[in-house]
A = this chain, B = another copy of it.
């Protein structure tokens, strides 16, 4: 078959107010013009592959560059897009909330993933698939660190894991597991002095792990 519509869509996830949230953008064109949807677009002949297209589209539409990004799944069929038989190679990307703030795009709306309203195409299913993937991988990997920003404290990281897993975690066992994954390094002499407690040590993800997950054999 010729002329399959080939697109990419990106589920950009962040933690806002301790809630997992997805970035939605008003569509500039038909179909569904003006409706909030996932940032997405056509694959171009100049793209090296679908991943490259996803990074380009994300940057064009949200001004965000080089987030942690992973292929999610491909959605396809004659009915998901009113223009015809279509394929969307979808990706999920993780950033800290301050990355979205700094990008400063006026039209990005963050929606709590547990309270999604009407979405065009099959975007609800795509988001649900991304959230399920993230939550199931969170228990066994360093994935949530990509939501924590450049520098973070261990209590902040624990709140992110808790937001993803939907339950409080024991502090001692959480810290043991994090140590076991050997994915963080201390930022010598740097502390977060916000909050009521004594200044907390800042950490960051080891630079060599920026694009590679660390796995935890037995889970949190």
Residues of A with Cβ closer than 8 Å to B? 1-4, 6, 42-45, 47-50, 71, 73-78, 85, 87, 89, 217-219
Contact = CB atoms under 8 A, between A and B. Distances in A.
18 contacts: A1-B42, A1-B43, A1-B45, A2-B2, A4-B6, A43-B76, A45-B78, A48-B77, A49-B75, A49-B77, A50-B76, A50-B77, A71-B73, A74-B74, A74-B89, A87-B87, A87-B89, A218-B218
A86 to B, nearest CB: 10
A43 B4 contact: yes
Q: Is the interface of A mostly helix, strand, loop or mixed?
A: loop
A45 B85 contact: yes
A50 B4 CA distance: 12
A1 B53 CA distance: 12
- Of the candidates A1, A74, A87, A217, the one having the most CB atoms from chain B within 10 angstroms of its own CB is A74
A77 B219 CA distance: 36
Contacts of A49: 75-77
A49 B76 CA distance: 5
Nearest to A1: B45
Contacts of A4: 4, 6, 43
A48 B2 contact: no
Contacts of A6: 1, 4, 6, 87
A150 B157 CA distance: 46
Contact of A50 (B44, B48, B74, B217): B74
